[in-house]
Amino acid sequence: MSTGTHHDTEKLVMRLNRIEGQIGGIRKMLESDSPCDEIIIQINSARSALQKISQIVLEDHLRHCVLEALEGGKEPQLESLKRAMNQFSKMA
């Protein structure tokens, strides 16, 4: 089973840092009693950003790990793909 990192970890960490900033902003909006519709917009924005990170990681898994498994007939990687797809589908 391939365990190497193929995605650009630095870029993903930068995305996570921006999401952390968004979450902090949402906290401040709640504390300052901002309008509910504006809070929900920001929550959806953070959720979308997290989903994009998940998509990047899943695509990387498909590109590297699963392709390698299909070429080598490695069943454990196919199970890993099933688990990853299941988790990704729960985000919608």
Its CATH architecture, for the domain 9-89, is Up-down Bundle (1.20)
Q: What gap in Å lies between CA 50 and CA 14, rounded to an integer?
A: 12
With beta carbons less than 8 A apart as the criterion, state whether 91 and 54 touch.
yes
Tens digits of per-residue pLDDT, 32-82?
999 999 999 999 999 999 999 999 988 888 877 767 777 776 666 677 777
Q: Report residue 18's pLDDT band, with 50, 70 and 90 as the boundaries.
A: very high
pTM tops 0.85:
no
More confident residue, 2 or 59: 59
- What is the pLDDT, as a whole number, of residue 61? 81
**CB distance 70 to 79 below 8 Å:** no
